[in-house]
Amino acid sequence: MEKIRLEIIGMSYSQSQTGAYALILGEKDGKRRLPIIIGGFEAQAIAIELEKIKTPRPLTHDLFKRFADSFGIEIREIIINKFHEGVFYAQLVCSDGSKIEEVDSRTSDAIALALRFNCPIYTFEDIMKAAAILVEEDAGTNAVLNPESQPKSKTKQEFTTQSVAELNETLQSAIDNEEYEKASRIRDELNRRNKPGK
């Protein structure tokens, strides 16, 4: 199965979960975006590395990198290999020079490590079809998206009362306004309705 290269587009505060963040990954040379909800600790670990901030003592992901370097282990690539019930799963493809091992990881940790090991992030077409959001016009690739500029989103309960046509219209509006987290929740509601037996 052919892999799709992803890059970090931005990160913003989550509007639906306190202490969480929306990490936006974009298809390299493409218009699709993959919004992933991550915890505050992982968001901090990603932001610190993106901004190249030096901490007085190593954070957990920095410690992992130093440990791996000490034993000649490298992470060659990160693969977001599964999307199930709104949750992304990932693998670290590691090598010690003689053999390659795949290690399961939370996606947020995998991305924090990808930045430290300077390795590529990939996913597959079936995951992009299930979870990505198409952006018609690229408004830029800021490292941090401004959550204050985004209107407050509706709750999941409000989405359940909308028709499929209304959801598609709301989805396009969310994409146009770069409200990727809101768009991902609408996408999940549309996917839920498209399941057999719904």
Domain count along the chain: 1
Residue 101: per-residue pLDDT: 96
- The CA distance from 94 to 100, in Å, is 6
Condensed to tens digits (0 to 9), the pLDDT of residues 28-47 reads 988 899 999 998 889 889 98
Domain that holds residue 68: 3-194
Tell whether pTM > 0.75: no
Contacts 24+ apart (CB under 8 A), 155-163: 155/16, 156/16, 156/185, 156/189, 159/185, 159/186, 159/189, 160/189
CATH number of 67's domain? 3.10.690.10
pLDDT tens digits for 86-126?
899 999 999 999 999 999 999 999 999 999 999 999 999 99
Q: What is the mean pLDDT of residues 143-154?
A: 35
**CB half-sphere exposure, 126, CA atoms < 13 A:** 7
188 — pLDDT class (breaks 50, 70, 90): confident
How many C-beta atoms surround the C-beta of residue 45 within 10 A?
Answer: 23
Banded pLDDT at 139 (limits 50, 70, 90): very low
pLDDT surpassing 60 at residue 49: yes
Residue 27: the pLDDT is 94
* pLDDT tens profile 63-87: 999 999 999 999 999 999 999 988 9
Position 161 pLDDT exceeds 80: no
